[in-house]
Homo-oligomer: A and B are copies of this chain.
Amino acid sequence: MRTTRGTAQAVSPESPHLSLATVCLSGTLEDKLHAAAVAGFDGVEVFAPDLIAEALSPDEIGHRCRDLGLSVELYQPLRDIDSTDPDRFAANLRRADATFDVMSGLGADTVLVCSSVSPDTVPDRDRLAGQLHTLAERAHARGMRIAYEALAWGRHVHTWDASWEAVRVADHPALGMCLDSFHVLARGSDPAPIADVPGEKIFFLQLADAREVSMDVLSWSRHHRLFPGQGAFDLPGFLGPVLDAGYSGPLSLEVFNDVFRQSDPVRTAVDARRSLLALAEATAQRGSGADPVATPPAISGPAFVELRDPGAGPHGELGGVLHALGFTRTGVHRTKPVERWEQGDARLLVNAAGEDGSSAIAAIGVESADPRAAARRSERLCAPPLPRRTGPGEADLTEVAAPDGTSVLFCRSAPDGPGPAWSQDFVPTGDPVAAGTGVAGIDHIGLTQPYDAFDEAVLFHRAVLGLDTVADGEFAAPFGLVRSRALADDARRTRIALTVSLLRRGSWGPAVTDPQYVALATDDVLATASAARAAGVRLLDVPSNYHDDLAARLDLPADRMAAYRELGVLHERDADGDLLQVCTELLGGRLFLALVQRTGRHDGHGWADAPVRMAAHRRSRRNATTA
């Protein structure tokens, strides 16, 4: 059956082909094929509208694919073929013949046939089966085959088991099912019984994730699909039964997404491949498939956060603020202008390298039991190590780039264990240990993402760091809508809070651009903030209007409210507990520090109060400029 496949590569159960639908990417078909090849995909699904707009003939496209090392795994879609009257069906078969001609040029042997959405289709099981049989016979005569898929919004066939029933009754060797995780999971269907379908009747598998949204399933499918690991669907729970059924064809991504449709296609394709590799790994961990099981790194908290304070010299602003916050300068890097500051389990590096640019979060060191294994796995997940200049005798830390450009380093603080400890690169200062202000560690790290990189960043932190989504939302900031997503490990030792401006701002947008912050944990934010303020840290002014509203909502004691007003405390409460925050003013262009106290099991990241904070930072910036 698969003799017309373009490449000689066999599909073995040990290493399924990884495939990408061209509809996932931005650009012309040529751009898309190039991107899929660069990202290392084995094959592609060719989406008909991409081919129709392309000047290369199907034959030339087929050659191009082979030159790029890509199989054409599927041509798609053939719509509204079946369950119609004989005249219409005859016209549809003419369309099918033209499609087979295209496929013949491409070197594709499988075509996706979607369940009909046409108003002229009738709910007649025998007619459906008969017409599918006829179509399959026609394909068979040309060495091709039909993969029949239930669209979630199909007129009469809209569940995977209805499509299986049609395929079973039509009973032709060139007719099988195409399963698409979106259509199955968006309808809330149970994928488990798929394990009982004969594997050879599953001709093709399309994978897509999605965020939970409330809209009609057609719009959701056409605009808001995501790569596996970026959304809320249980993809390993879907892929498992399919592999258990004996499916051995490609794992293929079909993701209609408005953002990806306009993003750099090479970057999107790399993100796509990472998602499939991580999905195969996660599915193998649940006992399905033959993917080599690599354990996600056991991240046990941030080892450090490195702040860039370019051109600051040894007594830069950040160092002064950390000193006033009760941090001790415990070390100076052997070869670089980097200082290590510590208080409790909070370790911050201040890097004064560079002449210009604004203060920013340069790197996050994550504590890993086996940094080298974590780095190897990261490389397998398309996050290769960055080139790193390591001086003689310095720790050989592996550094990878997160999608927003922040470096992530796998490292360990313990002096023994595999690989070097990161802190060996610092010469102790002998500075006296400061009394501290009660900072106990790093609560979370807040990073604004570039628009095109948000979903990619979510996948990166899930797949490469092994974190998981703990919060997902949106808020209306003063200068536009912001999407938020927080990822953390189970023990909540490493928390990363991502935000993105949902519509890019044009010339109007006088807010602080792309803020970043480190939230420091304390058990008593009032004490910590008071001490910091007394030592000269400039805390962010929070408007009285906010505290008046808070007092009306929460009925807090008067002395507590007075302290709140004095120190600029933001206070969020939900059913799980409370989150209290005090922020510094901006340190440079977009960086600030926050002091955070959690009570109960509050699992938030300050987003309810973020609009107030953002307006206050903008006000403070404007006042500083006009002063």
Identify the A interface with B (CB < 8 A).
26-28, 48-49, 51-55, 57-58, 91, 94-95, 97-99, 101-102, 213-216, 218-219, 223, 258-259, 261-265, 267, 450-452, 476, 478-481, 501-510, 541, 543-546, 548-549, 551-553, 555, 611-612, 614-616, 618-619
Contact = CB atoms under 8 A, between A and B. Distances in A.
Contacts of A555: 91, 94
A542 B563 CA distance: 71
A545 B265 contact: no
Given A476-B49, A546-B52, A552-B95, A262 B481 contact: yes
A218 B544 CA distance: 31
Nearest to A49: B611
Contacts of A26: 478-480, 508
A144 to B, nearest CB: 16
Contact of A57 (B28, B49, B544): B544
Nearest to A623: B55
B51 A262 contact: no
A611 B450 CA distance: 27
Nearest to A95: B552
A97 B552 CA distance: 8
A552 B502 CA distance: 41
Given A94-B552, A215-B215, A541-B55, A263 B506 contact: yes
Given A214-B215, A619-B55, A451 B506 contact: yes
A482 to B, nearest CB: 10
Given A216-B214, A262-B509, A548-B98, A478 B27 contact: yes
B619 A28 contact: yes
A479 B28 CA distance: 8
Interface centre among A28, A223, A504, A553 (most CB of B within 10 A): A28
B261 A476 contact: yes
Contact of A215 (B51, B219, B450, B545): B219
8 contacts: A53-B611, A53-B616, A55-B619, A97-B552, A214-B215, A261-B503, A262-B509, A451-B503
A465 B600 CA distance: 60
A55 B543 contact: yes
Interface centre among A479, A502, A555 (most CB of B within 10 A): A479
Contacts of A267: 508
Given A28-B615, A214-B215, 4 more contacts: A28-B618, A49-B476, A97-B552, A265-B508
A545 B27 CA distance: 17
Contacts of A213: 215, 219
A53 B98 contact: no
A57 B545 contact: yes
A555 B87 CA distance: 14
Contact of A216 (B53, B215, B476): B215
B94 A54 contact: no
Contacts of A552: 94-95, 97-99
Contact of A508 (B99, B264, B478, B612): B264
Contacts of A219: 213-215
A478 B95 contact: no
Given A26-B508, A549-B98, A615 B262 contact: no
B55 A480 contact: no
Given A98-B552, A548-B102, A552-B98, A258 B480 contact: yes
Interface centre among A223, A267, A476, A509 (most CB of B within 10 A): A476
A508 B503 CA distance: 17
Contacts of A53: 478, 543, 545-546, 611-612, 614-616
A479 B258 contact: no
Nearest to A220: B215
Contacts of A546: 52-53
A480 B91 contact: no
Contacts of A216: 214-215
B52 A479 contact: no
Nearest to A91: B555
Contact of A543 (B52, B510, B619): B52
Contacts of A54: 543, 545, 615
Nearest to A260: B480
Nearest to A53: B615
A102 B214 CA distance: 36
A355 B168 CA distance: 70
A27 B505 CA distance: 12
Contacts of A551: 98
B262 A480 contact: yes
